[in-house]
Amino acid sequence: MEEFSRLLDELYFTNSTLAKEKILANYLKTTSDPDRGWALAAIAGTLRFDLFKRNLSKSLMVERMDPELFQLSYDYVGELSETIALAWQQSDEPILMNRLPTLSETIVEFQGCGKEGIRQYLVQLLDNMTPPQRWALLKLGTRGLRIGMSARSVKRVLANMKSVDLEVIEELWHGLEPPYENLFEWIDGKSDMPDISGTIRYLPVMLAHPIDEEKDLQRITPETHNAEWKWDGIRVQISSNEIETKIFSRTGDDISGSFPDLVEAINFHAIVDGELLVKTDEGIGSLNDLQQRLNKKKPSAKLIKERPAHFRGYDILSLNGDNLRSLSLDDRRSELHKLHESVNQEIFSISELLEFETVDDLKLMRAEADKSNGLLEGLMIKDKTSTYVSGRPKHAWYKWKCDPYLLDAVLMYAQRGHGKRSSYYSDYTFGLWNEAGELLPIGKAYFGFTDEELKLIDNWIRKNKLKRFGPVQEVKKELVFEVAFDSAHVSTRHKSGFALRFPRIHRIRWDKPASEANLLEDLAKLIK
Amino acid sequence: MVQSSTNAEEWMQVKPQGLYCIPANAYIDPHQPVERAIITHGHADHARPGHGMVIATPLTHEIMKVRYPEDQPQRISLDYNKSYQLLNEINLWFAPAGHVLGSAQAVIEYHNHRIVISGDYKRHPDPTCQPFEVVECDTFVTEATFALPVFSHPNLEDEMAKVRRSLETFSDRAHLIGVYGLGKCQRVMASLREAGYEQPFYLHGALLALTKLYENHGYNFGEWKPASGLKGKAREEMRGRIVLAPPSTLADRWSRTLPDVLPIMASGWMQIRARARQRRAEMALIVSDHADWHDLIRTVEETKAKDVWITHGRTDALEYELKKRGINAKALDLIGREEEVE
């Protein structure tokens, strides 16, 4: 546990992704099995069970600490595990250990315990640990590690250790189980690549390039390319065999738990690629509706009924165990249609092909998508002969997004960025005027400008500071940004009552007086 | 134990300028200019310029001279354990507080009543100042900077080992430690030497004068260089070595000029993860010059004081705990104490 705790601490405090990856790689190289595999699982979020319930640690604490002091401490620290880790008082007659158990010994012991045993073992460990070790244990035990490291980043570390492409690890990943001994045997060169046939697989997805209107449009003809709507849902992969079905996000995270209605509807042995949406009797729901579903690890029956999941498929990667990725897009789509005949079509539809004769037709359709208030993000245009290649191959798939909305907003607050940008004010909150002449925040953006512009804005902020709220610096309401965004919706997150999708700084309007920035009602008009 | 014949509340008072001893017409650590000031130690929120008379230890006077070269008060220098007569036969003496170089507890005796104003203090070992001495008293005035059960300061050796380990993993990064100039800087340097760090330290300009003052009094920190003395390519030599600078530089432009900087903050607040992240520290060194929860209570009990006044910090929790133990505790809530200076 000592090494694991130290690892978590180092990862927690390190900002840069690269540095985190270096720390994790060092740990994995110097730690033996099965400890390193369990640590990997804890960080990548693939542990399947809680070692103990969150409530247990709290009730232990209340038993041994004055409730008044506990409350004062909790209020001050603001986080339960950390409060307990710091304020834990050793038992009157503690059972002292001559050494702390290893990470895997800890996990095995907890799993073998009954309820009372779990309680005793937890007390014993906490009695023998330092505050950072207790924090690591409490976070591990309730799977609440938040150390800012994505599953993708973890896989990149593994790929680098073995000097293979990230895709190789991503393909393997969902076929493996903690503590990943076969994976490390292969990485260490002691065995062949683990055999994962017969297990549920996630295949790294194929991505599109933004279309270059000057150069790419001339390639497009109805004979060579397909056109589809680009729906504003989330990209998912349904991977299913005779035994089980999983839904993976674009980054390979398993999100099956949030969509049991979709999982139940799947009756094939295949891997399909498409867009996850919400669809009711009234039609396709907004991304906001889908967000409600995504936020729930275990959705209620009511939520499922109000916002049923819907899958709009556009590709098939594997059928009954056969790899289809080397077929052409046209051939894959006909396989997809065959599969579609025998599924529940209420919940699984196929992304229709849009008929067009010239590029001008496509332009008209894109303009139509523009009016959908974000339901359609634009068009997808795909080469009919293209094979399915993970990553972003050139000239195979294009995305042709709608033009963003633009508004002039006033900079209100700034915050320092992370990593390389930590000494610059690079996160900006901006707002629009309401009827009473007050500025209300509508969003936050931290990109869209060049490094040169960043320095200029940073400089402006330093000269125009007002009050400070912790890390947030208020500035004079004088600088106007032209802000671009894909859509707007009603939200309680900001005081203004609106939120923007994908906001970015489009232009800095050094010339424009703040009083001439847009009004909130201009934004309201964009929402029908 | 001295037999108490008066109640200190009758002759000690909280005024806007600070804690005031009426019969002596003297303030303790006033945060505004006054006629007569008793200063416990040299930190800026306790030692301010502009007083008519300053009574302090010789080292605190020296620190104040470095900080406020223009300041010309009448100076009364009082060694530890030496008495000085204030007005109305009030006896004043200083006892070591273990906080920073020259830091003292002010002991005031009047009509058989002894009050100890401890200033800021700690009980953990510190190679750069004299350790705290318990003075039994009737009334004990204490700080409460870290008065919550979540504050239990770890061993300094373990904290320094974290730095050594990081220097091995990131041997190409300049390790910038944010430290306050008086006390923290020197304690961290001395502890790193004890932990076996043998390379030079690189010091920000704001840390030079006080470090030299420590050296003039026999403290040795090995080789160090002013960081600003290195220009262009020469700055590369700071890779894999320790740079010390005031905490404000951690997130500021100064640190951008260091080669691949790894920002570290050394402070008692670093125990709380969110505080460390706020500081943009990539490593949190828990190094405190204040007493932690356990030491605050232990100290109060060792002084055998019946009355305890709590000046600043997390006064609620300490007051609650002391009352539970049958000690008559009350919070003074003095203004003007900057708890970030730690």
Residue pair B146/B290 in contact by the 8 Å Cβ criterion: yes
**In this structure, is the dihedral angle defined by the CA atoms of residues B205, B210, B214 and B217, taken in order, positive or negative?**
positive
Q: Check residue A488 and give its pLDDT.
A: 85
Q: Check residue A79 and give its pLDDT.
A: 85
Structure tokens at A14: 């390190």
Of B82, B80, B77, nearest in space to B38 by CA: B77
Q: Check residue B234 and give its pLDDT.
A: 86
Q: pLDDT tens digits for A5-58? A: 999 999 998 888 898 999 999 999 999 999 999 999 999 988 878 899 888 999
Query: A10 to chain B, minimum CA–CA distance in Å?
Result: 7
Please, where are the H alpha helices in A383-481? 451-463
Q: Which residues contact B270 (CB under 8 A, 6 or more apart)?
A: B276, B279, B281, B284, B285, B286, B287
Of B26, B22, B66, nearest in space to B43 by CA: B66
Q: Check residue B1 and give its pLDDT.
A: 43
Query: B188 to chain A, minimum CA–CA distance in Å?
Result: 20
CATH topology for the A209-401 domain: D-amino Acid Aminotransferase; Chain A, domain 1 (3.30.470)
Residue A477 has pLDDT above 80, yes or no: yes
Residue pair B332/B19 in contact by the 8 Å Cβ criterion: yes
Structure tokens at B198: 């043998």
Q: Measured between alpha carbons, how far is residue A443 from residues A38, A286, A350, A511, B51 in Å?
A: 39, 19, 35, 22, 50
Structure tokens at A38: 């369990």
Query: B90 to chain A, minimum CA–CA distance in Å?
Result: 39
Q: Tell me the residue type at A174.
A: H
Q: Hunting for tokens 């704001």 — which residue is that?
A: B206
Q: Check residue A48 and give its pLDDT.
A: 79
ipTM rounded to 2 decimals: 0.89
Quick check: B149 and A19 CB within 8 A?
A: no
Residue B3 has pLDDT above 80, yes or no: no
Q: A112-116, A261-265, B55-59, B325-329: which range is least confident on average? A: A112-116
Q: Check residue B336 and give its pLDDT.
A: 61
- Name the superfamily (CATH) of residues A405-524: Nucleic acid-binding proteins (2.40.50.140)
Percent of chain A whose pLDDT exceeds 90: 64
Q: Check residue A420 and give its pLDDT.
A: 58
Residue pair B297/B288 in contact by the 8 Å Cβ criterion: no
pTM, to two decimals: 0.71
Structure tokens at A252: 């390979």
Average pLDDT over residues B81-98: 95
In chain B, where the domains are located: 8-150+290-331, 156-285
Q: Check residue B313 and give its pLDDT.
A: 85
**In this structure, is the dihedral angle defined by the CA atoms of residues A262, A263, A268 and A273, taken in order, positive or negative?**
positive
Average pLDDT over residues B77-93: 95
Q: Check residue A220 and give its pLDDT.
A: 94
Bigger pLDDT: A45 vs B268:
B268
Q: Check residue A421 and give its pLDDT.
A: 67
A-B C-beta contacts closer than 8 Å: 78
Q: Check residue A455 and give its pLDDT.
A: 85
Of A96, A97, A77, A99, nearest in space to A86 by CA: A77
Mean pLDDT (chain A) is 91
Q: Check residue A423 and give its pLDDT.
A: 64
Quick check: A13 and B281 CB within 8 A?
A: yes
DSSP E strands in A75-231: the ranges are 209-210, 225-231
Helix (H, G, I), strand (E, B) or coil at A385: coil
Q: Check residue B4 and give its pLDDT.
A: 47
pLDDT-derived band at A262, boundaries 50, 70, 90: very high
Chain B stretch 140-199, residues whose beta carbon is closer than 8 A to a beta carbon of chain A: 148-152, 154, 158, 165-166, 169-170
- Name the superfamily (CATH) of residues B8-150+290-331: Ribonuclease Z/Hydroxyacylglutathione hydrolase-like (3.60.15.10)
Residue A197 has pLDDT above 80, yes or no: no
CA separation for the pair B173, A41 (Å, rounded): 29
In chain A, where the domains are located: 2-141, 209-401, 405-524
Q: Tell me the residue type at A524.
A: A
pLDDT-derived band at B339, boundaries 50, 70, 90: low
CA separation for the pair A172, A153 (Å, rounded): 15
Greatest pairwise CA separation for chain B in angstroms: 70
Quick check: A72 and B314 CB within 8 A?
A: yes
B277 CB neighbours in chain A (<8 A) are 13
Residue pair B137/B114 in contact by the 8 Å Cβ criterion: yes
Which H or E element spans position B275?
helix B273-278
Q: Check residue A14 and give its pLDDT.
A: 87
Query: B133 to chain A, minimum CA–CA distance in Å?
Result: 27
Q: Which residues contact B331 (CB under 8 A, 6 or more apart)?
A: B144, B309, B310, B315, B316, B319
Q: Check residue A61 and give its pLDDT.
A: 92
DSSP A377: E
Q: pLDDT tens digits for B293-304? A: 999 999 999 999
Query: A88 to chain B, minimum CA–CA distance in Å?
Result: 8
pLDDT-derived band at B253, boundaries 50, 70, 90: confident
Q: Check residue A468 and give its pLDDT.
A: 80
Q: Measured between alpha carbons, how far is residue B206 from residues A487, B181, B226 in Å?
A: 50, 7, 10
Q: What is the CATH number of domain A2-141?
A: 1.10.3260.10
Q: A368-382, B170-184, B307-321: which range is least confident on average? A: A368-382
Radius of gyration for the alpha carbons in chain A, expressed in angstroms and rounded: 26
Of A14, A4, A125, A108, nearest in space to A60 by CA: A125
Average pLDDT over residues A391-397: 89
Q: What is the CATH number of domain B156-285?
A: 3.40.50.12650
Q: Check residue B278 and give its pLDDT.
A: 77
Bigger pLDDT: A147 vs B194:
B194
Residue pair B39/B47 in contact by the 8 Å Cβ criterion: yes
pLDDT-derived band at B274, boundaries 50, 70, 90: confident
Q: Tell me the residue type at A399.
A: K
CA separation for the pair A330, A334 (Å, rounded): 6
Helix (H, G, I), strand (E, B) or coil at A108: helix
Q: pLDDT tens digits for A71-107? A: 889 888 888 899 999 999 999 999 999 999 999 999 9
A72 CB neighbours in chain B (<8 A) are 148, 314, 316-317, 320
Chain B stretch 257-286, residues whose beta carbon is closer than 8 A to a beta carbon of chain A: 263, 271-274, 276-278, 280-284
Residue A528 has pLDDT above 70, yes or no: no
Residue B224 forms beta bridges with which residues? B201
Q: Which residues contact A90 (CB under 8 A, 6 or more apart)?
A: A127
Residue B255 has pLDDT above 50, yes or no: yes
Q: pLDDT tens digits for A423-468? A: 678 999 999 999 999 999 999 998 888 888 998 898 899 889 898 8
Q: Check residue B256 and give its pLDDT.
A: 83
CA separation for the pair A326, A323 (Å, rounded): 7
DSSP B34: -
Which H or E element spans position A236?
strand A234-240
CA separation for the pair A495, B143 (Å, rounded): 40
- Smallest Cβ distance to A423: which of B251, B276, B282? B251
B256 touches chain A (CB under 8 A): yes
Report DSSP letters for B177-188, one per residue: EE--TTTHHHHH
